[in-house]
A and B are shown apart, each in its own frame.
Chain A
Amino acid sequence: MRLPDPLEKLRQRFFGDTVRTFGWISLLLLILLAIAPAKNHFADWRRYQRGYEHLIRTRSDAVTLQRHFEPGVQQIWLPEMGVVDRCTTCHSALKETTLMDVTIQPYRHHPDIPHKLDEFGCSVCHRGQGTATSVEDAHQSTLAWEEPILPAKYLESSCGQCHQQDLKGTPQLNLGRKMLTQYGCVHCHTVKRPDGSTITGTDDPPTLTHIADKTSREWIYAWLKDPQAYATTATMPNFKLKDEDARDISAFLISSSTPASLKLVQASLDAAKKVKDDAALQTKAASLYGESFCASCHAVQNAAGNLVGGNVGPELTKVGSKVKPEWLQAWVRNPHDYDPPTGMPHYRFSDQEVGLLTGFLMGKSDSDLLANVHLDAATPEQIAHGKRLVNDYGCASCHEINGIKRPENFAPELTKIGSKPANQLAFAPGVPHTLYDYINAKIRQPRAFGPGLKMPQYTFNTAQVDALMNALLSHNERALTMPAAKTVAALPVSHYEPAGKAGQLITDLNCFSCHAINGRGGDMAPDITWEGSSVQRDWLVQFFRNPNTLRPALIRRMPKFNLTDAEINTLTDYIMTVYQSPKIDRDSMPLSGYSAGQVELGKQLYYSKYSCQACHIIDTKQDKGYIGPTLSHVGSRLTAAWVYNWMKDPQALRPGTQEPKRNMSDDDARALTAFLMSQKGRDGQEAKKR
């Protein structure tokens, strides 16, 4: 085929003979050969290194910076962690503290963290492709590398790879981990820590075996349809049930319920009925509710719509629309009768008091809640369908239900969720194809991923979702393969059980709901592991009889449990003998009899050198400090040995306490102890006179 004329002329001109052809082909090869060095020359990282050199040239410490700077591809290689990070090739200034003011990337100084760059590299925390030397490959998700840089809001998840304990600098991760155990996630999803232990829930989903005694089918129906309509703080998620499904599940739950052995006292019920129409009784009931410090654990919405109270127990705003008075009076009398492992203490209320509280709580109702719920008697088909649904939705993963076995591995295991490859995920339409967006969308809108999915809808705000994301992303492949030397194990879970008669009392009163003992228990009230070394026996007896608060600014207080003298004795004896610190000899220092000179010296130290009045009150007329406990009676409350040791190192006795360690000399500590032990309070002085 002949080429058109002009091209034919060109061909003749360039490839007319062998020499010319050879020449041109050689030139072409030369150009091709030059591409590789040229590509290298124009590489991203060279440009950034030139930029860096330009940046430091004008600075006062240019010489030092230039000396620190090493041109060429840099690499941090940590074989035991599988880290090959070339990030420092472009991020040249990570360690340069004098470049603190530079805000342009990639030349920013790395903010101070407890870890060294050379020991951990970059990708352990930030993810991304460590070996890459171009901006796109290193930071973004590419065909060959799926894991893009971790968004800054999820950075705390990386701390969680090694640190299984809560850290002070990672509030988001701590919250997320708490949510994981509190919102029932781990009841359906298995999540294992790198050490192989399984995370267990700290929530206590109620047993439904006697549910018919407690509430009505109508309430169950309304609750199933929308738990948050009953209580905004409800932790049960919304399963988005159809009307007939909610109808059938409620039918099944009522039909499967067996009667509990509840003690019905007619006098209490009668008293409860009177409360409704009697203003005086209502006031009395309200003050009993207040005195019993129910609000320390239970919240109630006030007229302004704000929740007031604690979140240990369920919200009580509409409790009157939920429970039956017969059940409530039995529950208030002794909650262990209905639910033995409950966290609610057994107050020893009189029948009259039980009635007052029952009536008071039944008054907290919302007539709108069940107004539109009309259910006909359940048919056997409905009950059978309800049972099927209960199995399908895995209700028994959280709740104990008669006739339903707790399902094993009901939902996918999440032990490696933080490193799941994006190509193994089924994305909902409109969700960007990264793991982070996938998990985020799953938490926010689980049902958007397709029909027939069972994961319920939670009502988390953005901050909560981010916190949960941090906790989930910390469970990944790297966390599982981290060398043992780098990991910090979780605190072992304490299964401490107090023994004997006192142990039974401690369980009955549920002291663990608020107090921690030997690593087990809540943090609402002080840790009482060493209470026996700390307080005097007489004070403790008096405190059980009438617990008065030690701190003026505290709203949560220990309730009065109406214990008998025998019970108080049992508890006190146990605490005084068993809960002792091995480091403190209670009897090593006398409780009184210090010389006037020592007391006076201690007083001067108290008010001048150590200025304790900033936080404590001794002289109720002058002192105003609000933070620590009032010390006007401290001499009849604490043991001298405890006070002395506290002066020397408060954190050693109560980790995390606000009072700073003062590095006091022994003499100062002794004088202060003498002064404090002389503060016996009015009761003490009266006792002396007698």
Chain B
Amino acid sequence: MKRTACLLIFLVTALSVGCSRQPKTFVLVAKPTAYGTAIVESSGGKQTAGVGTPLLQPVVLQVNDEQGNAVTGALVILHGPSGIYLDPAAGTTDSSGQFTTNVSLGVIPGRYQITASTTTKTGKTAELKIEEIAFGYQEMLGSQLNDQYCARCHNQESSPERVSNYDNLEVKPHPFTEGDTLNKMSDADLTAIISHGGPALNKSPLMAPYGYTLSKSEIQAVIAYIRMVSDPPYGAPGIVYAQK
């Protein structure tokens, strides 16, 4: 009797272990050969891409020592929210002290914060947070409309193909990343200023009205885009919980 019971218990455990075993992923991490004190971004932060798509430029990070010189062979480990794909997620810095990784964003539109860390000699970790932005359909449409109608004035950057008009304007437009100003404006305000031009909110008439050019949903898309790229991030008015 006892033997049968033992056998049964053994079988059940073996079975359950066999079924529930999940493939565990081990990140193979190279051993650091050197240590830095700080980690800085070289390029690749604040990029935008459609949901689930890879960023056009890789993220390049650099590990520096106390004097600010690049450190070769320092360990860099990256963490991101679920959905984000980092290739590779960890490694050591190359001969110029840099670590390069390709990033694919998750499927939910929004900001993705990646934390990069390196261990220092004393065993502490130095951290750096960088943000990348994933566009959903609306934001993507908004970004296209921005390119077509808004960017020539609202973006200070010039390229040989597209010279910015920003410097020519007496009253300077707000770049869409300027969260400090734009986050204070409600969606209704933004809709008004886009539809009826600057004078609608007692602002510069150099901002022309686009209400007869863009459809309602297009204006919404532009606003969704502005909200997504603003820095500091735009926080939607919080959910008000019922008081009990």
Contact = CB atoms under 8 A, between A and B. Distances in A.
Contacts of A462: 54, 102
Interface string B207-244: 11110110001001100100000000000100111100
Contact of A112 (B108, B110, B138, B163): B138
Interface stretch (B13-21, B140-148, B179-187): B140-148
B53 to A, nearest CB: 4
A170 B160 CA distance: 26
Contacts of B137: 111-113, 169
A153 B160 CA distance: 30
B133 to A, nearest CB: 14
A60 B50 contact: no
B175 interface: no
Contacts of B56: 463
Interface string A620-651: 00001111000000000000000000000001
B205 A60 contact: no
Contacts of A114: 217
B206 A611 contact: yes
Contacts of A155: 51-52
Contacts of B4: 6
Nearest to A651: B213
Nearest to A664: B212
Contacts of B129: none
B66 interface: no
B208 A662 contact: yes
A240 B72 CA distance: 37
B51 A152 contact: yes
A60 B145 contact: no
A613 B165 CA distance: 11
A661 B213 contact: yes
A625 B208 CA distance: 13
Contacts of A103: 108, 110
Q: Which of A113, A610, A611, A627 has its CB near the most chain B CB atoms (within 10 A)? A: A611
A614 B153 contact: yes
Contacts of A553: 162-163, 165
Given A624-B168, A626-B163, A626-B168, A658 B152 contact: yes
Given A59-B241, A624-B168, A658-B149, A111 B212 contact: no
A168 B153 CA distance: 21
A308 B213 CA distance: 34
Interface in B170-218: 204-210, 212-213, 217
A101 interface: yes
Contact of B52 (A112, A152, A656, A663): A152
Interface in B19-59: 50-54, 56
A611 B161 CA distance: 25
Contacts of B54: 153, 462-463, 466
Nearest to B106: A152
B212 A627 contact: no
Given A112-B138, A169-B141, A555-B161, A611 B205 contact: yes
Interface in A354-390: none
Interface string A144-159: 0000000111011000
Contact of A111 (B136, B152, B161, B167): B136
Contacts of B114: none
Contacts of B163: 553, 626
Q: Which of A98, A101, A608, A658 has its CB near the most chain B CB atoms (within 10 A)? A: A658
B60 interface: no
B208 A60 contact: no
B210 to A, nearest CB: 5
A654 interface: no
Contacts of B221: 169
Given A6-B1, A112-B220, A614 B206 contact: yes
A662 B209 contact: yes
A58 B217 CA distance: 32
Secondary structure at the A interface, as helix, strand, loop or mixed, is: loop
Given A108-B108, A658-B152, A660-B209, A168 B138 contact: no
Contact of A658 (B51, B136, B144, B148): B148
Contacts of A59: 239, 241
Nearest to B206: A614
A662 B212 contact: yes
B78 interface: no
Contact of A168 (B141, B220, B241): B141
A108 B148 CA distance: 31
Nearest to A658: B149
B239 A466 contact: no
Contacts of A98: 239
B97 interface: no
B205 A608 contact: yes
A38 to B, nearest CB: 19
Interface string B107-144: 11110000000000000000000000000111011001
B213 A660 contact: yes
Nearest to B81: A103
Contacts of B6: none
B53 A172 contact: yes
A615 interface: yes
B239 A609 contact: no
A117 interface: no
Interface string A132-148: 00000000000000000
Contacts of B224: 112
A16 interface: no
Interface string A163-174: 000001111100
B5 to A, nearest CB: 11
A611 B208 contact: yes
A431 interface: no
A171 B140 contact: yes
Interface string A236-277: 000000000000000000000000000000000000000000
Contacts of B149: 658, 660
A60 B165 contact: no
Nearest to B102: A462
Q: Which of A60, A62, A651 has its CB near the most chain B CB atoms (within 10 A)? A: A60
Given A60-B240, A153-B53, A555-B160, 10 more contacts: A58-B241, A103-B110, A112-B217, A113-B137, A153-B51, A169-B221, A614-B168, A624-B167, A626-B163, A660-B209
5 contacts: A153-B53, A171-B50, A553-B163, A609-B205, A614-B165
